[in-house]
Amino acid sequence: MVELLAKNSKLLVIEAENDMFVKANQVYLTPANKYISIRHGKLYLTDKSKIKGPHLIINTFLESLAINSGKKAIAVILSGLGSDGTIGATAIKKAGGMVIARNPETSLFSSMPESIIAAGITDFILEPALMPALIEDYIENDGEILSSGVDDEQHINTIITLIKQRSAFDFSNYKLSTISRGIIRRANYNNFTKLEDYVDFFRKTTEEAGILAKDFFISVTYFFWDKEAFDFIQKKYCPTYLKSWKQKKS
Q: Give the predicted TM-score (pTM) of the model.
A: 0.62
Say what the pLDDT of residue 67 is. Answer: 95
- Residue 194 half-sphere exposure, CB side, CA atoms within 13 Å? 6
Say what the pLDDT of residue 22 is. Answer: 96
Contact (Cβ atoms closer than 8 angstroms) between residue 79 and residue 116: no
Q: Extract the residue ranges of the chain whose pLDDT is less than 70.
A: 50-51, 53, 141-150, 177-178, 218-250
**How far is Cα of residue 202 from the mean position of the Cα atoms in its chain?**
23
Say what the pLDDT of residue 129 is. Answer: 86
Say what the pLDDT of residue 238 is. Answer: 62
Contact (Cβ atoms closer than 8 angstroms) between residue 212 and residue 188: no
Contact (Cβ atoms closer than 8 angstroms) between residue 97 and residue 64: no
pLDDT in tens, 148-203: 556 778 888 899 999 999 887 888 887 776 677 778 778 877 778 788 889 999 99
Say what the pLDDT of residue 140 is. Answer: 76
